[in-house]
């Protein structure tokens, strides 16, 4: 994932969670935000399941009642079409909060375990408990979803949290800062706005856990900062998510779905199809269909359905990728820096050493590379950093299984793209350079919890051979029971 950043802090208001009240004044100092949320956590207010359920209801109400404000903010920031913004940013928050709330009591139960012979008579169990105070640093590309879904997991697990939205989407950041204290416990949940200096100051605070979504390079910085306080981390990063198209794939469906995934949010999606490896025998037919699908999905007025690139710097970056790509442009290629628009572009057989094929694209540019076989495609994927997502189109279940078993990725989608992200009980996360840790559903609850081990021993019998001084007889007895 390319890039990320910060936001303002809100003041406490006494209210029932989920009931909108006027927000209190902002607290703009990261250290004050940390101190407030740490105090709230240590007070014990975040631990009861009733509090957690109230916060999750509050998140549902926030995206429902604040829908117009949030949709207008995202349109102001980068022209997100209304339906797309609701579908990709708001609906997942409500669905995740509802799913967590429905299952909270079941997941929070103690889990019985075998205590081992040495602990008999006795019992053993583990208890999920909150990690403490969590910092959520969210990116600009899905500025509501990727701020509030990690927050939902943190709250379900009973943590207090500071949320730092990206400064690259200032209207959305300000809207979140205004709405969050109206619907959530603003002693325990604080939004802090700002740029890199604010993020740096937040990272200097001794949070118990840091949840970061952004680029691999910034992820390294976050992990280094976390090491200072030995904070645990969840890193949702990115990379180049490949698509493998086998010769037996339904090319019409594959082309339409790949084109949809690439056009979604103008390609500014961490799990967007980054490049396609297509078997040579069907490559030309696949390219023709992708070009047609791109035209059909944009409709008669592409400007009305097109998300803008987030800022001019990223437009210029994408323009540079195109200029150095080599290969053949099958469609698109136009760039308007002032309007922050890059035309959906298909580049066939680009230079494999070019930045287009080395860097995460994060824009509406689709390289298509011809390969001789699915095995060659798998080798191509395995020789590169482990991706966040991998997509396979094939009419054969055996081919799908072979790719799943023979490659490594954060997640795999067979015969579609992106949709694994919305499966409520599938863990979503990366591996290696594409991230560590996972969330969504129970995975998020577990990720933001510590599973505390407990053993209870009986008072009797208190066997004397367990205590020193040891002799041969005691050693025989100990070895018999261990």
In a shared domain, residues 100 and 125: yes
Structure letter (DSSP) for residue 110: -
* Nearest CA-CA partner of 209 in 448, 47, 451, 4: 448
pLDDT for the residue 23: 46
Residue 19's pLDDT band (cuts 50, 70, 90): low
In a shared domain, residues 304 and 402: yes
Q: HSE (CB half, 13 Å, CA atoms) of 157? A: 31
Max CA pair span of the chain: 89
Residue 208 lies in a domain: yes
Q: In whole angstroms, give the CA distance from residue 136 to residue 121.
A: 44
Share of the chain above pLDDT 70, in %: 94
Q: Which one has a higher pLDDT value, 344 or 119?
A: 344
Residue 445 lies in a domain: no
Structure tokens that stand for 337 in this block:
């820096």
Cβ pair 242, 207 in contact under 8 A: no
SS3 237: coil
Query: Which of 179, 211, 236 delimits the end of a domain?
Result: 236
Cα 304 to chain centroid, rounded: 28
CA angle, corner 448, sides to 447 and 452, nearest 5?
90
* pLDDT tens digits along 155-212: 999 999 999 999 999 999 999 999 999 999 999 999 999 999 999 999 999 999 999 9
In a shared domain, residues 217 and 263: no
SS3 318: helix
Region 391-397 average pLDDT: 98
Residue 480 lies in a domain: no
pLDDT for the residue 21: 52
| pTM of the entire predicted model | 0.92
Query: Which of 413, 429, 445 delimits the end of a domain?
Result: 429
pLDDT for the residue 8: 33
Q: In whole angstroms, give the CA distance from residue 390 to residue 396.
A: 17
In a shared domain, residues 232 and 139: yes
Residue 410 lies in a domain: yes
Q: Is the pLDDT of residue 128 over 90?
A: yes
Residue 450 lies in a domain: no
In 107-241, at which residue ranges do the beta strands (DSSP E only) sit?
Answer: 111-113, 122-130, 133-137, 160-164, 189-191, 209-213, 232-236
In a shared domain, residues 71 and 135: yes
SS3 453: strand
Residue 118's pLDDT band (cuts 50, 70, 90): confident
In a shared domain, residues 262 and 184: no
Helix extents (H) in 283-435: 283-298, 302-305, 312-323, 355-358, 374-382, 397-406
Q: Which helix (H) or strand (E) holds 199?
A: helix 196-203
**Which whole-number Å values give the CA distances from 253 to 19, 299, 329, 353, in the listed order?**
45, 18, 22, 30
* pLDDT tens digits along 345-371: 999 999 999 999 999 999 999 999 999
* Nearest CA-CA partner of 73 in 210, 174, 189: 174
In a shared domain, residues 168 and 269: no
Residue 3 lies in a domain: no
Cβ pair 80, 74 in contact under 8 A: yes
In a shared domain, residues 129 and 257: no
Check which CATH number belongs to the domain holding 130 and give it: 3.40.605.10
Residue 155 lies in a domain: yes
Residue 11's pLDDT band (cuts 50, 70, 90): very low
DSSP letter for each residue of 51-106: HHHHHHHHHHHHHHHTHHHHHHHHHHHH---HHHHIIIIIHHHHHHHHHHHHHHHH
Region 361-389 average pLDDT: 98
Query: Which of 429, 448, 475 delimits the end of a domain?
Result: 429
Residue 136, beta-bridge partner list: 163, 211
* pLDDT tens digits along 130-156: 999 999 999 999 999 999 999 999 999
In a shared domain, residues 195 and 342: no
Q: In whole angstroms, give the CA distance from residue 435 to residue 163.
A: 20
* Nearest CA-CA partner of 377 in 279, 302, 296: 279
Question: Domains in the chain: how many in total?
Answer: 2
Out of 270, 343, 360, 446, which one is annotated catalytic?
A: 270
In a shared domain, residues 212 and 252: no
pLDDT for the residue 231: 98
Cα 246 to chain centroid, rounded: 29
Helix and strand totals (H; E) in the chain: 18, 18
Residue 435 lies in a domain: no
Q: In whole angstroms, give the CA distance from residue 216 to residue 204.
A: 20
Q: Residues with Cβ < 8 Å from 98, sequence gap 6 or more?
A: 56, 60
* pLDDT tens digits along 276-290: 999 999 999 999 999
* pLDDT tens digits along 75-115: 999 999 999 999 999 999 999 999 999 999 999 999 999 99
Structure tokens that stand for 238 in this block:
């990115």
Share of the chain above pLDDT 90, in %: 88
Cβ pair 273, 369 in contact under 8 A: no
SS3 481: helix
Q: Residues with Cβ < 8 Å from 464, sequence gap 6 or more?
A: none
Residue 236 among the catalytic residues: yes
Task: Using the CB atoms, write b or e for 329-366: b if 16+ within 10 Å.
Answer: ebbbbebeeeebbbbbbbbbebeeebbbbeebbbbbbb
In a shared domain, residues 202 and 55: yes
Check which CATH number belongs to the domain holding 295 and give it: 3.40.309.10
- Residue 147 domain boundaries: 30-236
In a shared domain, residues 232 and 247: no
Whole-number mean pLDDT of the chain? 93
């Amino acid at each position: 994932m390319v890039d990320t950043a910060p936001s303002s802090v809100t003041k406490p208001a006494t209210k029932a969670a989920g009931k909108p009240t006027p927000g209190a004044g902002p607290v703009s100092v990261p250290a004050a935000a940390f101190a407030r949320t740490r105090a709230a956590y240590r007070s014990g207010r975040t631990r009861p399941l009733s509090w957690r359920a109230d916060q999750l209801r509050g998140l549902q109400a926030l995206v429902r009642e604040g829908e117009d404000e949030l949709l207008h903010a995202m349109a102001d920031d980068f022209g997100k079409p209304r339906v797309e913004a609701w579908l990709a940013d708001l609906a997942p928050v409500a669905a995740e909060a509802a799913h967590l709330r429905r299952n909270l009591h079941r997941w929070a139960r103690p889990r019985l375990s075998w205590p081992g012979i040495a602990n008999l008579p006795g019992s053993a169990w583990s208890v999920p408990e909150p990690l403490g105070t969590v910092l959520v640093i969210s990116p600009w590309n899905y500025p509501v979803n990727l701020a509030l879904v990690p927050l939902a997991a943190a709250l379900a697990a009973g943590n207090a949290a500071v949320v730092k939205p990206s400064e690259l989407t200032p209207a959305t950041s300000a809207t979140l800062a205004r709405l969050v204290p109206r619907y959530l416990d603003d002693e325990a949940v604080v939004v802090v706005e700002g740029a890199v200096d604010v993020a740096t100051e937040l990272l200097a605070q001794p949070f118990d856990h840091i949840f970061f979504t952004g680029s691999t390079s910034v992820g390294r910085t976050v992990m280094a900062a976390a090491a200072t306080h030995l904070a645990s981390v969840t890193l949702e990063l990115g990379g180049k998510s490949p698509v493998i198209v086998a010769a037996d794939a339904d090319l019409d469906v594959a082309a339409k779905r790949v084109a949809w995934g690439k056009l979604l949010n103008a390609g500014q999606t961490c799990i967007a199809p980054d490049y396609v490896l297509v078997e040579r025998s069907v490559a030309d037919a696949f390219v023709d269909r992708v070009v047609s699908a791109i035209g059909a999905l944009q409709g008669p007025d592409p400007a009305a359905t097109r998300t803008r690139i987030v800022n001019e710097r990223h437009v210029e970056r994408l323009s540079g990728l195109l200029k150095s790509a080599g290969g053949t442009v099958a469609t698109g290629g136009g760039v308007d820096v002032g309007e922050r628009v890059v035309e959906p572009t298909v580049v066939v057989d680009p230079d494999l050493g070019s930045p287009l094929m080395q860097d995460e694209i994060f824009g509406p540019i689709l390289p298509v590379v011809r390969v001789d076989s699915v095995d060659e495609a798998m080798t191509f994927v395995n020789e590169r950093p482990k991706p966040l997502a991998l997509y396979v189109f094939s009419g054969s279940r055996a081919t799908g299984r072979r790719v799943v078993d023979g490659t490594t990725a954060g997640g795999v989608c067979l015969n579609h793209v992106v949709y694994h992200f919305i499966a409520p009980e599938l863990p979503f996360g990366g591996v290696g350079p594409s991230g560590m840790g996972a969330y969504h559903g129970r995975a998020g609850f577990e990720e933001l919890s510590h599973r505390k081990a407990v053993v209870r021993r009986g008072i009797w019998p208190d066997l004397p051979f367990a205590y020193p001084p040891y002799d041969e007889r005691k050693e025989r007895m100990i070895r018999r029971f261990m």
